[in-house]
Structure 1
Amino acid sequence: MCDGGQAGEAQASAPRPAEGTALDPIALQPVDEVRITTLVDNVYDGLLTGDDRVTRAEFGSGRVTAAQFEEGGTDAGMRAEHGFAALVAVHRGATTTTLLFDTGLSPDAVVVNSDRLGVDLSAAQGIVLSHGHFDHAGGLAGLSGRLRRGMPMVVHPAAWTRRRLAPPNREIFDLPTLSRRALGGEGFEVVERREPSLLVDGSVLITGEVDRTTEFERGMPPAHQAWTGAGWEHDPLVLDDQALVVHVRDRGLVVLTGCGHAGAVNIVRHARRLTGVDRLYALLGGLHLSGPAFEPVIPPTIDALTELAPAMVVPAHCTGWRAQHALATALPDAWLPGSSGSTYRIAA
């Protein structure tokens, strides 16, 4: 969930190291190729063109019935909503493994977009939730009939945290809370981990809790609160925030975020430290730089990413238009616009 808050509120809480043991370094096995398909994003642009790095959804994706047209139908394109979901396909030799990373906001968007792209969700071999906010987990409600029973789902144990937005002089908004019991009842095999996890024969890293080491990425404003069992308290860190990392042979790290609540630079630093791989090749996903509470974080984030010099940057979801423009200006050769239905390819 993304809330702009007020200017300066992001500086109200100091960063701290993540709890738990950091498994350092981790032997992340290199892969031959990774393809990341954005199934749900805030944006769909049917006029975007592809190249050797990205394939865009066809403009005519999603034929639907519409009696107002002579042909009896029209092309609906891809769904866009305030949420994020991606399908990650990892290729190693003759083996391909697919994981679903987040599931969007609404129960049906990820299913509708998958159908319009011709993506078979039943081929997914696992689910990873970046965190428990409902704009990344809402699509689970529509997936139970599409995925096999016993599907493993990797989550941080704080993903079940009850949260709300309580901005000054505005109505309180209670965020929908994930139910572990309900997900288990639907046949998901929930795997809770605070520490890093290796999936897909050691070739996909889930970061677990991210170390907070920068001075400028300080989390959510005071309006974002969590229930402690005794009362509501400011929840700046969103400790369940985690990212997915792949090491593409001869290229470097590919880092996929959901909202990036831990901070894009913190996440990249954490991935490099865990793996011992210095080179950041690609950064994709939400970077949470939208709104007055987070726009002051844009310049130092741009400076740090410019120094890292990634070959591909695809800011999505909650990155915000100001940060999009700044990233496109600072990293013109690396920046690619995000859009529902786009597939990004990074190969050795």
Structure 2
Amino acid sequence: MCEDGSDPGVGQALPRPAPGEAVDPVALEPVDEVEVTTLVDNVYDALLVDDERTRRADFTAGRAVAPQFEGRETAVGLVAEHGFAALVTVRRGRTTTSLLFDTGLSPDAVVTNADRLEVDLAAVQGVVLSHGHFDHAGGLAGLARRLGARRMPMVLHPRAWTRRRLAPPQHEPHELPTLSPRALDGEGFSLVERREPSLLVDGCVLITGEVDRTTEFERGMPPAHQAWTGSAWEHDPLVIDDQALVVHVRGRGLVVVTGCGHAGVVNIVRHAQRLTGVRTLHGLLGGLHLSGPAFEPVIGPTVSALTELDPSLVVPGHCTGWRAQHALAAALPAAWTQGSSGSSFRLVA
């Protein structure tokens, strides 16, 4: 950020046409298998059932002391909260690598759910932060306590540190919790800040960096979402630090994992297609940010665009909203799958 509060990089992400192939293509290595385990989501449903590509966590995931029951304990299932975190595990040949994509809202939910699912967070090779909003970064405190002195690499956009607030009409502004790079460094995270696409895990995982805004209908956050420029609060429609995680499953196509999808999920998918040269969308998982009056007009064109892309699996979560969930389920009945804390989705070459 410049001393006057302006950011010269913001203009690079303003909506603009982007015809043709990417001028800076990314050689994303295909993988044999990817498994995405939702560690934290807004919903937990213990009655969901497994299928050939989905494994669900039921009430047996976790026990707690409860004196009112015979045996003095009860089943507790998993934590659900307004946040998102996913464990992404990729396999190529005999090599398997896991990354944590976002960490949920509260300090303890992601660690609690990982323990109940018997996920070893110490085996995770790195953290990717989709953007700086607190409902995706709150679990970093619990993760740091679990890791102790170990240094954990974290990939994020340099604007993830932006001060932001919500200032809806007729209400007092509410400043959102802001990440501190100094605190994260002190807690053991090795910060890797990049605006550009990043290739991780020997070229098997793409982090998009800033996403091209090319659609006419995905216009970002409403005026109530504001950022501090260094001298004043201004409308922050872009959430320019928003980025997604992309894997290419051999012979199947791209699997895209979003945090909130603030860049617009269609923008994100098209950006991933342009960068990689892979046209097929195999799977889409994560928050699509289509909830509430400001975003519901975007549901129709989003569903139409995703229907044309014809993915095999769509697992909308977190901030997608029930109206968009219903529309997606109706338009893509074979692909749409209910998300839930503790669900694992396995896609194989």
Normalising to structure 1: TM-score of the pair?
0.94
In structure 1, what is the equivalent of residue 60 of structure 2? Answer: 60
Tell me if structure 2 keeps the 8 A contact 1:243–1:258: yes
Contact kept? 1:23, 1:195, Cα under 8 Å:
no
Do the aligned residues in 2 keep the contact of 1:24 with 1:275 (CA within 8 Å)? no
Q: CA deviation at 1:149?
A: 2.1
The alpha carbon displacement at 1:23 in A equals 6.4
- Does 1 or 2 have the higher relative contact order (CA < 8 Å, sep 6+)? 1
Superposed counterparts of 1:20-99, under 5 Å: 24-99=24-99
Partner of residue 107, structure 2: 107
Work out whether residues 61 and 117 of structure 1, in 8 Å CA contact, stay in contact via their aligned partners in 2. yes
Code of the aligned partner of 1:331:
L
Is the aligned partner of 1:328 residue 2:329? yes
CA apart distance, 1:15: 5.0
Whether contact under 8 Å (2:303, 2:331) holds in the other structure is: yes
- Please list the CA deviations of residues 77-135 of structure 1 after superposition, one character each: whole Å capped at 9, or x if unmatched: 10000000000000011110000000000000000000000000000000000000000
1:269-297 Cα deviation digits (max 9, x unpaired): 00000000000000000000000000000
Name the CA distance, whole Å, in 1 between partners of 2:14 and 2:50.
Answer: 39
What is the 5 A alignment of 1:131-280? 131-147=131-147, 149-280=150-281
Gaps of 5+ in 1: 1-13
Instruction: Map Cα deviations across residues 24-53 of structure 1 (whole Å, 9 max, x no partner).
Output: 211000000000000000000000001111
Distance between the aligned counterparts of 2:225 and 2:308, measured in 1? 31
**Cα pair 2:46 2:59 within 8 Å, conserved:** yes
Partners of 2:187 and 2:116 lie apart in 1 by 25
Cα offsets for 1:295-346 (capped at 9, x unmatched)? 0000000000000000000000000000000000000000000000000000
Q: Distance in 1 between matches of 2:233 and 2:281?
A: 38
After superposition, the C-alpha distances for 1:1-21 in whole angstroms (9 at most, x for unaligned) are xxxxxxxxxxxxx95259xxx
Instruction: State whether residues 29 and 203 of structure 2, in contact with CA within 8 Å, keep that contact through their aligned partners in structure 1.
Output: yes
Any idea what SS the aligned residue of 2:146 has?
Answer: coil
Q: Distance in 1 between matches of 2:159 and 2:200?
A: 20
2:292 aligned with 1:291:
yes
Which residue in 2 is equivalent to 1:7? none
1:117 & 1:144 partners in 2: Cα distance?
A: 19
Cα separation, 1, equivalents of 2:64 and 2:16? 50
Identity of aligned residues (%): 76
Aligned residues: 332
List per-residue Cα deviations over 1:169-188 (Å, max 9, x = no partner).
01211100000000001111
Amino acid at match of 2:229: T
- The C-alpha deviation readout for 1:121-172, integer Å capped at 9, x for no partner, is 0000000000000000000011112236221100000000000000010121
CA distance in 2, matches of 1:57, 1:95: 26
How far apart are 1:207 and its partner, in Å? 0.1
Q: Is the 8 A contact 2:244 2:268 kept in 1?
A: yes
Kindly state the Cα deviation for residue 60 of structure 1 after the two structures are TM-superposed: 1.5
Find the residue that maps to 1:319 and give its secondary structure: coil
Which secondary structure state, in structure 2, belongs to the residue aligned with residue 145 of structure 1? helix
Q: Is the 8 A contact 1:40 1:86 kept in 2?
A: yes
Q: Which amino acid aligns with 2:62?
A: G
Task: Report the residue type matching 1:309 in the other structure.
Answer: D
8 Å CA contact 1:160–1:178 kept in 2: the answer is yes
Q: Once superposed, what is the RMSD of the aligned Cα atoms?
A: 1.2
Check the 8 A contact 1:15/1:217 in 2, yes or no. no
Separation in 2, partners of 1:266, 1:203: 21
